[in-house]
């Protein structure tokens, strides 16, 4: 099991506070720059869609954001497993749900916290919002009130109303149950389940399990008062009564005896190891309480090593969490303008999820996204970052909506729909997320060469706490004290190297002298370098196998750091080192190279840069389309600077590479499909995503201009083709940027 993801409370607060407080903002999707824009967007232009919608209400889906807008609504009465902490305190969770809608399914969403526990007032408030939204996601409203609220709203409203804690959880747990039964050779009809909790999530999970085929008499529910048995009168309601069973068991400890499955939808720590030991062989344990499960996987597996265990958390295998459902279920429902999310749609989502986990992961997808887990006890359910979710679950949901007659706008061409779903997400984000997972699964030793810099120390702390690997600090005697000042409780646990005291110095000097003695350096020059230069010292740690990766760059200009590093670590055999800046846009990414190293690359170097950048793009989930950029397009205007570019294209022709490439061309031709139509002979099948620049001047200027002006996210520069992974960040990097480079190198993506 990978090391657990850890962070301090301070980090969690900083995450929410730094920059713009909170996690969401609203941005305009239309230009708002000129008087004319304003006249169209607002008065008088806005009157035109107003009248159109008044005449034909469905036009609201065409002229407003309604069709892609979901309200996340809570009153904070059951915030995760934290209980009733009120509407205001629920806002971080609801903002979180809103950003998950965006992140995973490109659905715009806004959180609305209602400060009341009065069922009728909530119903009235939500009902009145129907014009604004394409769907309503109710969240963390406690049972039994949530049942009345959701049922009434479903009857009153003509858009999908979905209580996530009920149905989202039910769908995901059903998918996981199907697969866990499959793996343990159980028939769903025969299993016995104990559900701890009898609230929103539990009742709905129980109902869906029964719909899957579990016999009603084989499911026992427990709540805070114990087993829900026929005839019980204390703490009951009609939803609990509907699932009451004939049994002599009165406590969870009694009910769990011999059970095949445990569903925990209650509170942290409710399931003990003794109880696990009493379950059937190969028990299935879904401890779904958040943020802390009913039992930790470590404890559960210690009690029953053959158990299949899932939790609601992302830092253990098998995350059974409704995040896997609500974004994709709403995506499908919105896309067919469904009036509701019905049982068939929920079942379709559950089956699609279960099936996806059983599918062989394609080699390319596995390499790009790190989803190389094979169906088995540690992988019974897809991970939320699996890029196939967006093209699988919404399709199943939309199809079910159409088959059951609740789709107001049926999909005509499912192949085109799948394609449009794929295009909603930028694969880079999924790859980045998976790079972090990969790094955690195979933790590396990473040198942070500037460990007297706050930014480097913060990056190293986050790297360690995230479980991405072991930071190896090159610093000064005060470094441990600086870590303590940054809130680290056990600074001595950080490995610190200081050349003044390091036993490795003689070995380093020998190694470096052997490299440099015929390059004009005497032994005493080398001794000085090792003793005084943290980049050389850090690079030597990697060169001598004391660490796997190095990051630096905060304190010296790129070129200087590169020269220092390259004294100890050379380029990969037969290759030139070079730099890539990655621009991550909303739905696309563009790789720019060489932005840092080679001033006037030769034709063969350009060909190499193109090939290696295409490989990085592929590792990051993109089918590379390489454009060799110039001021000219296919010989127009002609000029003497074009020859080496043309020769690079010819070189790739000779090499017979397997990616698309073309050139020379201007950036507008490379990126704009309309311009590309003027060159029907071009071998690019669409806009380029790898831009190979003709020289360092244009490359570096473009990258830095884009970084300063672009508004897009920039990653890099990434240093490629070094003998050992080294990353030289830009001097203005944040700790997060430095850590991203460390992770990309550690995960074998930026190498
Ligand atoms: N992994 C996931 O995707 C999801 C997980 N959950 C988790 O499920 C839990 C419940 O959420 P939700 O259903 O929305 O909340 P509710 O408030 O609707 O229900 C909570 C239920 O837990 C029961 N309970 C409380 N303490 C205990 C205990 N010690 N032993 C047994 N039962 C107990 C309550 O009993 P009583 O009725 O007697 O008060 C109640 O039935 C939370 O931890 C939440 O994080 C929820 C949704 C999704
Ligand atoms: C995941 C979730 O919705 C909950 O724990 O309440
Ligand atoms: Mg919830």
**Per-residue pLDDT tens digits for 72-102:** 999 999 999 999 999 999 999 999 999 999 9
Enzyme catalytic residues: 97
Q: For residue 608, what pLDDT is reported?
A: 97
Q: Is the CB of 290 under 6 A from ligand 2?
A: yes
Is 191 a residue whose pLDDT tops 70?
A: yes
Ligand 1 center to 266 CA (angstroms): 3
First to last CA, the chain: 26
How far is residue 610's CA from residue 472's CA, in Å, rounded to a whole number?
Answer: 33
Structure tokens at 21: 């407080």
| Higher local confidence (pLDDT), 368 or 464 | 464
CA atoms within 13 A on the CB side of 474: 28
Which part of the chain has CATH 3.40.50.720? 167-320, 323-425
Ligand 3 center to 333 CA (angstroms): 20
Ligand 2 center to 382 CA (angstroms): 18
Q: For residue 11, what pLDDT is reported?
A: 83
Residue 321 Ramachandran class (φ > 0 left, ψ -120 to 50 alpha, else beta): beta
What are the residues facing 715 on neighbouring strands? Answer: 582
Which part of the chain has CATH 3.40.50.10950? 436-568
8 Å CB contact between 362 and 388:
no
CA atoms within 13 A on the CB side of 323: 26
For residue 3, what pLDDT band results from cuts at 50, 70 and 90?
very low
Annotate 127-195 with DSSP letters as a single string.
HHTGGG-SEEEE-S--TTHHHHHHHHHHHH-SS-EEEIIIIIHHHHHHHHHHHHHHHHT--GGG--EEE
Is 711 a residue whose pLDDT tops 70?
A: no
Structure tokens at 541: 């740690």
Is 490 a residue whose pLDDT tops 70?
A: yes
Q: For residue 362, what pLDDT is reported?
A: 61
Residue nearest ligand 2's atom 5 by CA? 80
Nearest to 205 by CA among 313, 289, 82: 289
562 is in an annotated binding site: no
Is 214 a residue whose pLDDT tops 60?
A: yes
Cβ-proximal residues to 20 (8 Å cutoff; 6+ apart), any chain: none
Which part of the chain has CATH 3.40.50.10750? 578-721
H-only helix segments in 569-718: 603-619, 643-655, 667-671, 673-676, 696-709
Model pLDDT for residues 514-528, shown as the tens digit of each residue: 999 999 999 999 999
Find the range with the poorest average confidence among 9-13, 120-124, 739-743. Answer: 9-13
Atom of ligand 1 nearest to the CA of 172: 3
Which part of the chain has CATH 3.40.50.10380? 9-164
Q: Is the CB of 589 under 6 A from ligand 2?
A: no
Model pLDDT for residues 578-599, shown as the tens digit of each residue: 999 999 887 788 999 999 999 9
CATH of domain 436-568: 3.40.50.10950
Cβ-proximal residues to 275 (8 Å cutoff; 6+ apart), any chain: 252, 253, 256, 262
For a substitution probing ligand 1, which of 81, 167, 197, 384 has the most ligand atoms within 8 Å of its CB? 197
Nearest to 430 by CA among 488, 479, 384, 486: 384
Annotate 216-280 with DSSP letters as a single string.
GGGEEEEETTEE-BTT--TT--HHHHTT-B--S--SHHHHTTT-SEEEE-S-TT-S-HHHHHHSP
Sheet holding 589-593, edge to edge: 660-665, 625-629, 690-692, 589-593, 578-584, 713-720
What are the residues facing 445 on neighbouring strands? Answer: 470
How far is residue 47's CA from residue 484's CA, in Å, rounded to a whole number?
Answer: 61
Q: For residue 526, what pLDDT is reported?
A: 97
Going by the DSSP 8-state scheme, the letter that residue 88 receives in this structure is G
492: helix, coil or strand? helix
For 449, 703, 717, 728, the CA distances from 554, given in Å and listed in that order, are: 9, 18, 12, 8
221 is in an annotated binding site: no
Is 2 a residue whose pLDDT tops 50?
A: no
8 Å CB contact between 595 and 577:
no
Structure tokens at 112: 């609305």
Mean pLDDT, rounded, for 225-249: 97
For residue 315, what pLDDT band results from cuts at 50, 70 and 90?
confident
Nearest-5° Cα angle at 88, 87 to 91 = 95
Among the bound ligands, the one closest to the CA of 287: 1
497-530 CB burial, b ≥16 within 10 A, e <16: bbbeebebbeebbebbbebbeeeebeeeebbebb
What are the residues facing 305 on neighbouring strands? Answer: none
For residue 372, what pLDDT band results from cuts at 50, 70 and 90?
low
Residue nearest ligand 2's atom 6 by CA? 80
Q: For residue 544, what pLDDT is reported?
A: 98
Of all residues in the chain, the percent with pLDDT exceeding 90 is: 85
Among the bound ligands, the one closest to the CA of 143: 1
How far is residue 104's CA from residue 329's CA, in Å, rounded to a whole number?
Answer: 11
How far is residue 488's CA from residue 505's CA, in Å, rounded to a whole number?
Answer: 28
Is 430 a residue whose pLDDT tops 90?
A: no
CATH of domain 578-721: 3.40.50.10750
The residues lining ligand 1, judged by C-beta closer than 6 Å to any ligand atom, are 78, 80-81, 142-143, 165, 169, 196-202, 222-225, 235, 265-267, 270, 288-290, 312, 320-322
How far is residue 397's CA from residue 335's CA, in Å, rounded to a whole number?
Answer: 10
Nearest to 224 by CA among 138, 142, 344, 125: 142
Whole-model pTM? 0.82
716 is in an annotated binding site: no
Mean pLDDT, rounded, for 333-339: 98
| Higher local confidence (pLDDT), 474 or 488 | 474
Find the range with the poorest average confidence among 87-91, 215-219, 388-392, 710-714. Answer: 710-714
Nearest to 365 by CA among 616, 622, 748, 105: 622
Model pLDDT for residues 56-73, shown as the tens digit of each residue: 999 999 999 999 999 999
For residue 441, what pLDDT band results from cuts at 50, 70 and 90?
confident
How far is residue 102's CA from residue 443's CA, in Å, rounded to a whole number?
Answer: 30
For residue 466, what pLDDT band results from cuts at 50, 70 and 90?
confident
Q: For residue 585, what pLDDT is reported?
A: 81
Residue nearest ligand 2's atom 4 by CA? 80
Determine the angle formed by the axes of helices 119-128 and 145-156, rounding to 10 degrees: 30
8 Å CB contact between 188 and 210:
no
140 is in an annotated binding site: yes
Nearest to 474 by CA among 561, 578, 570: 561
Structure tokens at 526: 């080398």
Ligand 2 center to 322 CA (angstroms): 7
CATH of domain 9-164: 3.40.50.10380
Location of structure tokens 């499911």: 219
How far is residue 718's CA from residue 729's CA, in Å, rounded to a whole number?
Answer: 8
Strand 135-138 versus strand 161-163 pairing type: parallel
Is 614 a residue whose pLDDT tops 90?
A: yes
Q: For residue 365, what pLDDT is reported?
A: 59
* CATH of range 167-320; options 3.40.50.300, 3.40.50.720, 3.50.50.60, 3.40.50.1820: 3.40.50.720
Is 491 a residue whose pLDDT tops 60?
A: yes
Q: Give the fold, CATH level 3, of 323-425.
A: Rossmann fold (3.40.50)
Ligand 3 center to 95 CA (angstroms): 12
Atom of ligand 1 nearest to the CA of 166: 47
For residue 627, what pLDDT band results from cuts at 50, 70 and 90?
very high
Mean pLDDT, rounded, for 270-279: 98
* ipTM for the complex shown: 0.98
> 606 — phi, psi (to 5°)?
-60, -40
| Higher local confidence (pLDDT), 436 or 645 | 645
CA–centroid distance for 386 within its chain? 9
Is 736 a residue whose pLDDT tops 90?
A: no
Is 366 a residue whose pLDDT tops 70?
A: no
Cβ-proximal residues to 184 (8 Å cutoff; 6+ apart), any chain: 260, 282, 284, 308
For residue 467, what pLDDT band results from cuts at 50, 70 and 90?
confident
Rg (CA), the chain: 29
139 is in an annotated binding site: yes
Question: Across the chain, what does the average pLDDT equal?
Answer: 94
> 315 — phi, psi (to 5°)?
-95, 10
């Amino acid at each position: 099991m990978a090391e657990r993801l850890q962070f301090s409370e301070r980090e969690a607060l900083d995450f929410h506070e730094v920059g713009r407080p909170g996690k969401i903002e609203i941005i305009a999707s239309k230009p708002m720059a000129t008087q004319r824009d304003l006249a169209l967007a607002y008065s008088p232009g806005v009157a035109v869609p107003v009248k159109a919608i008044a005449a034909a209400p469905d036009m609201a889906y065409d002229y407003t954001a309604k069709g892609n807008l979901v309200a996340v609504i809570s009153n904070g009465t059951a915030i995760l497993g934290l209980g009733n902490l009120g509407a205001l305190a629920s806002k971080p969770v609801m903002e979180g749900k809103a950003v998950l809608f965006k992140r995973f399914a490109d659905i715009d969403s806004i959180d609305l916290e209602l400060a009341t526990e009065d069922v009728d007032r909530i119903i009235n408030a939500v009902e009145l919002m129907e014009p604004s939204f394409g769907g309503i996601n109710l969240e963390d409203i406690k049972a039994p009130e949530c049942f009345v609220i959701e049922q009434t709203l479903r009857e009153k409203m003509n858009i999908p109303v979905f209580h996530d804690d009920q149905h989202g959880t039910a769908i995901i747990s059903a998918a996981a149950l199907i697969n866990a039964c499959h793996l343990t050779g159980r028939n769903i009809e025969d299993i016995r389940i104990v559900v701890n909790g009898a609230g929103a999530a539990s009742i709905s999970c129980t109902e869906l399990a029964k719909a899957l085929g579990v016999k009603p008499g084989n499911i026992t529910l427990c709540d805070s008062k114990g087993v829900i048995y026929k005839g019980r009168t204390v703490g009951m309601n009609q939803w609990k009564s509907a699932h009451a069973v004939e049994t002599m068991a009165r406590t969870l400890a009694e009910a769990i005896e011999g059970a095949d499955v445990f569903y925990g939808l209650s509170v942290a720590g409710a399931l003990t190891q003794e109880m696990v030991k009493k379950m059937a062989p190969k028990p299935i344990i879904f401890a779904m309480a958040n943020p802390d499960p009913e039992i930790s996987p470590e404890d559960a597996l210690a009690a029953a090593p053959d158990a299949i265990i899932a939790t609601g958390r992302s830092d253990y295998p098998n995350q059974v969490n409704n995040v896997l459902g609500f974004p994709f279920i709403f995506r499908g429902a919105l896309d067919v303008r469904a009036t509701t999310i019905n049982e068939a749609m929920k079942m379709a989502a559950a089956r699609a999820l279960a099936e996806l986990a059983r599918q062989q992961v394609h080699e390319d997808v596995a390499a790009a996204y790190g989803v190389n887990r094979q169906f088995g006890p540690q992988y019974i359910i897809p991970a939320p970052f699996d890029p196939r979710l967006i093209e699988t679950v919404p399709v199943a949901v939309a199809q079910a909506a159409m088959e059951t007659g609740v789709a107001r706008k049926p999909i005509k061409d499912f192949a085109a729909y799948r394609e449009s779903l794929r295009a909603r997400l930028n694969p880079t984000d999924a790859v980045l997320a998976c790079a972090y997972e990969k790094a955690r699964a195979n933790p590396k030793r990473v040198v942070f060469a500037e460990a007297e810099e706050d930014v480097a120390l913060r990056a190293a702390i986050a790297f360690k706490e995230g479980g991405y690997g072991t930071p190896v600090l090159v610093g000064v005697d005060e470094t441990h004290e600086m870590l303590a000042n940054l809130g680290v409780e056990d600074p001595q646990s950080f490995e610190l190297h200081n050349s003044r005291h390091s036993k490795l110095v003689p070995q380093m000097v020998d190694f470096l002298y052997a490299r440099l003695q015929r390059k004009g350096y005497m032994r005493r020059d080398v001794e000085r370098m090792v003793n005084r230069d943290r980049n050389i010292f850090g690079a030597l740690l990697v060169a001598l196998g004391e660490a796997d990766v190095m990051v630096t760059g905060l304190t010296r200009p790129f070129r200087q750091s590169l020269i220092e590093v390259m004294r100890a670590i050379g380029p990969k055999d037969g290759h030139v080192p070079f730099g890539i800046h990655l621009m991550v846009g909303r739905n696309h990414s563009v790789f720019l190279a060489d932005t840092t190293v080679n001033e006037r690359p030769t034709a063969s170097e350009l060909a190499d840069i193109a090939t290696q950048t295409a490989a990085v793009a592929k590792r990051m989930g993109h089918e590379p389309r390489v454009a060799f950029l110039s001021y000219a397009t296919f010989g127009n205007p002609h000029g003497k600077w074009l020859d080496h570019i043309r020769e690079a294209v010819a070189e790739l022709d000779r090499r017979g590479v397997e990616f698309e490439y073309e050139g020379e061309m201007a950036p507008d031709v490379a990126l704009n499909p309309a311009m590309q139509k003027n060159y029907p002979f071009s071998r690019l099948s669409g806009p380029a995503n790898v831009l190979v620049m003709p020289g360092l001047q244009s490359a570096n200027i473009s990258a830095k201009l884009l970084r300063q002006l672009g508004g897009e996210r920039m990653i890099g520069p990434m240093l490629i083709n070094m003998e050992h992974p080294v990353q030289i960040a830009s001097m203005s990097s944040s700790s997060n940027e430095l850590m991203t480079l460390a992770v990309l190198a550690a995960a074998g993506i930026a190498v």
